[in-house]
Amino acid sequence: MLSFALIAAILAIFPFAAAQPFDLQAALAGAQAGDTIVVPAGNYAGPLVIDTPVTLIGAPGERPVIDAGGQGRVITINAPDVTIRGFDIRGSGASLDREDSGITSLAARTTVEDNHLEDVLFGIYLQNAPDSIVRGNTVVGKPLEMGVRGDGLRLWYSAGSLVEGNRVHDSRDMIVWYSPDSVIRGNTVERSRYGLHFMVNENVLIEENILRDNSVGIYLMYGDGYTVRNNLLFNNRGQSGYGLGIKDVDNAVVEGNYFVANRVGIYNDHSPLAPGATTRTEDNLFAYNDIALWMLPLVEHNTIAGNVFQENGEQVALAGEGVLHNNSWSEAGRGNYWSDYAGYDANGDAVGDVPYVAQSLYEDLLAKNPELRLFQLSPATDAIDLAARAFPLFQPRPKMADEHPLMAPPALPTVPGLAPPPLAANLAVAAGMLLLAGLLLVLGTRRSWRNGI
């Protein structure tokens, strides 16, 4: 048998070669089109440039790190049909002029999937990269002031792309510009400026996203055929504070969304724009917003039906003086549910027998003097409206009328992955609590009167 001393001597003379660290740059340089490169755990220096159609995968369960050390882009993709999956990507530069990013693709059919990006100025940037997929990524922006952050995700001239199941927070915007026929589904955007900002697109589907605690939830600017469906827009209360803004957009469909606790649920600026175009807003929940619908007086050809307007500070507001014309507030005898409707249903068909009319002297004054919003929900507003009812001379013009108001909230579409909204059951409980509070107040007042107090 060999002694330990002899074994040690052999090892000293013929040492086993130490395992060589994986060289990611060399692997990319030597790759052929269609190769798959599996990257083991470790820290790898960027920037990386990918010029060959390859699949780059982090070894399962190992999450290798690619870090550019604060210089430029971490990964740049110049070839089509590239996949990046399963990495932690960090440390881009901080130049807005150079658009430093975690991942920038300049080629078609890119797939960016299941990556975690942080300390990056721009997160994922598809530039002239049509038919791409961005799925299941987390993007955390650099800890900078809002104005000098980059966009968490940007699609630029990247038609037919799918953006699905991503989480973006503490970024600037999530942008989809000049990228028609794209699908934006199941993403969560928080603590950013524009949760989703669209410009000049056609036939884009936006569904099942969560936009909360942003300055603006979703903003649609220019284009045709947007569908905004089954999204949650919650507590978007920046300077604009829109859950959804729509500007110069034709044939938009807004359905099954929950607009809750925003400064404004939907802001409509000249949509639709083209002759013969329409905007449909149906089966949505507007609850506890300062303003549910804020529309320019010249907005026409909107159909608004089947929605629940629950306890908003102002159900319908005008951005300026005037009255809304040529809009439909009901369809096929079905209007909307308004929590402040005071009408009746004598024939029991679940539709009010008198129209719901948005008519308030305080709100009329507010449209002319926005600084009066300071007094909203104060006794002064009730006093102004009471005076208007007592003295018809001061009666304001109605802003709109729903000829077929619903007596109870309709069932709204459910949204996968989102908590159910406060619909019929919850609204009934809330109404019951208000009724009980009113009853107690009346009884207390009578008792005080009887006791001579």
Q: Domains in the chain, please, with CATH? A: 29-402 (2.160.20.10)
CA 367 to chain CA centroid, nearest Å = 27
Mean pLDDT, the chain, whole residue set: 86
Distances (CA, A) of 165 to 134, 135, 205, 207: 8, 6, 14, 11
Question: Does 374 have pLDDT greater than 80?
Answer: no
- pLDDT range class, residue 181, cuts 50, 70, 90: very high
Contact 122, 92 (CB under 8 A): yes
How many beta carbons lie within 10 A of that of residue 21, not counting itself?
Answer: 9
Quote the pLDDT of residue 394.
Answer: 54
**Better pLDDT: 398 or 161:** 161
Helix axes 361-368, 379-390, angle to 10 degrees: 110
Quote the pLDDT of residue 396.
Answer: 66
DSSP 8-state symbol, 116: E
- Please indicate, yes or no, whether the overall pTM of this predicted structure exceeds 0.85: no
Question: Does 31 have pLDDT greater than 50?
Answer: yes
CA 129 to chain CA centroid, nearest Å = 23
Token couple for 244? 């959804």
Quote the pLDDT of residue 416.
Answer: 57
Average pLDDT (353-379) is 64
Token couple for 420? 């159910």
